[in-house]
Amino acid sequence: MKTLLLMTALVLTHPAIHAESLKAASEEAAPTQAMTEAVVRKIDKDAGKITLKHGAIPNLDMPPMTMVFRVQQPAMLETAGVGDAVLFNAERVNGLLTITTLQKTP
């Protein structure tokens, strides 16, 4: 009887243990997105937008160009000024091209 209870407990908990290990493995293997180089052309703090002349953005399948992006957090607009070189990540958030990471290059 004890063996039956032990076997039942092992069978019931195995899928949960396996799912946790798969989740941990997928989080560790997640690739980091390369940052794109750009130069700040304009900053519109009231609208929460920044205009960048940027290189190719592979995750958005976008060639180099100059365009306006929304920023995820208004404080990002304090990171750099017009003419500064920056590195950034952008994603499509709720249908809008949005900068998710922005840092001034040294």
CATH assignment of 36-104, among 2.40.50.320, 3.40.50.800, 1.10.3720.10, 2.40.50.140: 2.40.50.320
Task: With beta carbons less than 8 A apart as the criterion, state whether 40 and 83 touch.
Answer: yes
User: Residue 79: how many CB atoms within 10 A of its CB?
Assistant: 19
Write out pLDDT tens, residues 18-29.
Answer: 555 544 544 454
pLDDT for 4 beyond 80? no
pLDDT at 66: 98
- Residues whose CB falls within 8 Å of the CB of residue 42, separated by 6 or more in sequence, listed in order: 50, 51, 68, 82
Query: Average pLDDT of 49-69?
Result: 97
Strand partners, 49: 44, 70
| 11: Cα separation from own chain's centroid | 38
Strand partners, 52: 40, 67
Residue written as token pair 């958005």: 60
pLDDT for 14 beyond 90? no
What are the domain boundaries of the chain?
A: 1-30, 36-104
Task: With beta carbons less than 8 A apart as the criterion, state whether 50 and 40 touch.
Answer: yes
Distance (Å, rounded) from C-alpha 106 to C-alpha 89?
Answer: 17
